[in-house]
A and B are shown apart, each in its own frame.
Chain A
Amino acid sequence: MKKFFYLILIFVIPIKAFALIEVDITRGNLNPLPIAVSPLSIDDNSKKNFEKILKKKNIGSEISSVVENNLKISGLFNPLNKDAFLQAPEIANLKPRFEDWNLIKAQALITGKVNYVDEKLRVEFRLWDVLAGKEMMALAFTTVPNNWRRVGHIITDKVYERLTGEKGYFDTRIIYVAEEGPKTKRIKKLAIMDQDGANNKFLTLGNELVLTPRFNPTSQMVTYLSYFRNLPRVYLLDIETGMQEVVGDFPGMTFAPRFSPDGKKIIMSFAKDGNSDIYTMDLENRIVEKITNHPSIDTSPSYSPDGKYICFNSDRSGYQQIYVMKSDGSNVKRISFGKGLYGTPVWSPRGDLIAFTKLHKGKFYIGVMRTDGSGERLLTENYYQEAPSWSPNGRVLIFYRETKTNDKGEGFSAKLWSIDLTGYNERLVKTPVDASDPSWSSLLSN
Chain B
Amino acid sequence: MKKLRIRNIDQGAIMKLNKILKNTLLLVAACIALSACATSKKSTGQMQGDVYTGKDTVEYLASGVPDRVFFATNESVLTTASRETLRKQAAWLRKNSDVTVVLEGHADERGTREYNLALGERRANAAKDYLMTYGISSDRISVLSYGKERPVDSGSNPLAWSKNRRSVTVKAN
> Is residue A83 within 8 Å, beta carbon to beta carbon, of the partner chain?
no
Q: Name the CB-closest residue of B to A209.
A: B149
- Residue pair A274, B154 in contact (C-beta under 8 Å): no
A211 CA to B5 CA, complexed, in Å = 28
> Is residue A384 within 8 Å, beta carbon to beta carbon, of the partner chain?
yes
| Of the residues B121, B126, B160, contact of A253 by C-beta under 8 Å | B121
B25: min CB distance to chain A, Å: 13
B11: min CB distance to chain A, Å: 6
| Of the residues B8, B12, B122, B144, contact of A297 by C-beta under 8 Å | B122
Please, which residues of chain B bring their CB within 8 A of the CB of A274? 3, 76, 121-122, 124-126, 129
- Residue pair A405, B156 in contact (C-beta under 8 Å): yes
Please, which residues of chain A bring their CB within 8 A of the CB of B152? 184
Among B45-53, B61-69, B87-95, B107-115, which stretch is in contact with chain A?
A: B107-115
- Residue pair B115, A271 in contact (C-beta under 8 Å): no
> Is residue B119 within 8 Å, beta carbon to beta carbon, of the partner chain?
yes
A405 CA to B7 CA, complexed, in Å = 34
Q: Given that A253-B117, A274-B122, A297-B122 are contacting pairs, would A404 and B156 also be in contact in the complex, using a CB cutoff of 8 Å?
A: yes
Q: Name the CB-closest residue of B to A297.
A: B118
Q: Given that A211-B113, A300-B112, A317-B8 are contacting pairs, would A269 and B118 also be in contact in the complex, using a CB cutoff of 8 Å?
A: yes
Please, which residues of chain B bring their CB within 8 A of the CB of A209? 149
Please, which residues of chain B bring their CB within 8 A of the CB of A316? 6
- Residue pair B6, A295 in contact (C-beta under 8 Å): yes
- Residue pair A296, B154 in contact (C-beta under 8 Å): no
A183 CA to B108 CA, complexed, in Å = 12
Q: Name the CB-closest residue of B to A344.
A: B112
- Residue pair A296, B6 in contact (C-beta under 8 Å): yes
B42: min CB distance to chain A, Å: 8
| Of the residues A225, A313, A318, A362, contact of B11 by C-beta under 8 Å | A318
A252 CA to B8 CA, complexed, in Å = 29
Name the interface residues of A168-200: CB closer than 8 Å to any CB of B.
182-186
> Is residue B40 within 8 Å, beta carbon to beta carbon, of the partner chain?
yes
> Is residue B1 within 8 Å, beta carbon to beta carbon, of the partner chain?
yes
B140: min CB distance to chain A, Å: 16
Q: Name the CB-closest residue of A to B121.
A: A271
Which size class do B's interface residues fall under? 35 or more
| Of the residues B4, B110, B143, contact of A384 by C-beta under 8 Å | B110
Q: Given that A184-B154, A405-B154, A405-B156 are contacting pairs, would A269 and B114 also be in contact in the complex, using a CB cutoff of 8 Å?
A: yes
> Is residue B15 within 8 Å, beta carbon to beta carbon, of the partner chain?
yes
> Is residue B169 within 8 Å, beta carbon to beta carbon, of the partner chain?
no
> Is residue A4 within 8 Å, beta carbon to beta carbon, of the partner chain?
no
Tally chain A residues at the interface, Cβ within 8 Å: 51
Name the interface residues of B10-58: CB closer than 8 Å to any CB of A.
11-12, 15, 40
| Of the residues B12, B113, B155, contact of A405 by C-beta under 8 Å | B155
- Residue pair A387, B113 in contact (C-beta under 8 Å): yes
B102: min CB distance to chain A, Å: 8
What is the total of A-B residue contacts with beta carbons within 8 Å? 126
- Residue pair A212, B114 in contact (C-beta under 8 Å): yes
- Residue pair B8, A318 in contact (C-beta under 8 Å): yes
A397 CA to B42 CA, complexed, in Å = 41
> Is residue B84 within 8 Å, beta carbon to beta carbon, of the partner chain?
no
Please, which residues of chain B bring their CB within 8 A of the CB of A320? 74, 111-112, 115
- Residue pair B5, A295 in contact (C-beta under 8 Å): yes
- Residue pair B117, A255 in contact (C-beta under 8 Å): yes
> Is residue A276 within 8 Å, beta carbon to beta carbon, of the partner chain?
yes
Q: Given that A296-B5, A297-B122, A343-B111 are contacting pairs, would A256 and B117 also be in contact in the complex, using a CB cutoff of 8 Å?
A: yes
Q: Given that A273-B1, A276-B121 are contacting pairs, would A212 and B110 also be in contact in the complex, using a CB cutoff of 8 Å?
A: no
- Residue pair B74, A299 in contact (C-beta under 8 Å): no
> Is residue A437 within 8 Å, beta carbon to beta carbon, of the partner chain?
yes
Q: Given that A182-B154, A184-B150, A271-B145 are contacting pairs, would A276 and B118 also be in contact in the complex, using a CB cutoff of 8 Å?
A: yes
Please, which residues of chain B bring their CB within 8 A of the CB of A253? 117, 121, 144-145
Q: Given that A274-B76, A405-B155, A405-B156 are contacting pairs, would A386 and B6 also be in contact in the complex, using a CB cutoff of 8 Å?
A: no
> Is residue A230 within 8 Å, beta carbon to beta carbon, of the partner chain?
yes
- Residue pair B114, A299 in contact (C-beta under 8 Å): yes
A375 CA to B4 CA, complexed, in Å = 34
Q: Name the CB-closest residue of A to B8.
A: A318
> Is residue A240 within 8 Å, beta carbon to beta carbon, of the partner chain?
no
Q: Name the CB-closest residue of B to A256.
A: B114
Please, which residues of chain A bring their CB within 8 A of the CB of B118? 255, 269, 271, 276, 297, 299
Please, which residues of chain A bring their CB within 8 A of the CB of B122? 271, 274-276, 297
> Is residue A402 within 8 Å, beta carbon to beta carbon, of the partner chain?
yes
B33: min CB distance to chain A, Å: 11
B112: min CB distance to chain A, Å: 4
- Residue pair B15, A255 in contact (C-beta under 8 Å): no
Q: Name the CB-closest residue of B to A409.
A: B154
Please, which residues of chain B bring their CB within 8 A of the CB of A315? 74, 115
A36: min CB distance to chain B, Å: 44
A184 CA to B8 CA, complexed, in Å = 35
A–B Cβ pairs within 8 angstroms, 5 of them: A182-B154, A269-B114, A274-B125, A275-B3, A315-B74
B residues apposed to A, CB below 8 Å: 1, 3-8, 11-12, 15, 40, 74, 76, 109-115, 117-119, 121-122, 124-126, 129, 143-145, 149-156, 160
11 additional A-B pairs beyond A253-B121, A320-B115, beta carbons within 8 Å, are: A185-B150, A212-B113, A253-B145, A256-B114, A274-B126, A275-B122, A276-B118, A297-B115, A320-B111, A386-B112, A409-B154
Closest 6 CB pairs of A and B: A274-B125, A343-B112, A409-B154, A183-B154, A276-B118, A404-B156
